Amino acid sequence: MLIHYNSNPVAVIPAKAGMTKLSAQKPAPRHSHESGNPERKI
């Protein structure tokens, strides 16, 4: 993350904000297999 932060420091801020909002709406979408893609359930 240090490399990306040095490359695009501005892009890191919205990226973290987006992840935070997604986590608030859907807590761990990867962990919830039911809410995830049915194809991945296989």
- Give per-residue pLDDT as tens, 1-42: 555 555 665 656 666 666 666 666 665 556 555 655 666 655
Q: Which residues are CB-neighbours of 1 under 8 A, at least 6 positions away?
A: 12
pLDDT at 28: 57
Q: Which two tokens stand for residue 13?
A: 């801020």
pLDDT for residue 22: 61
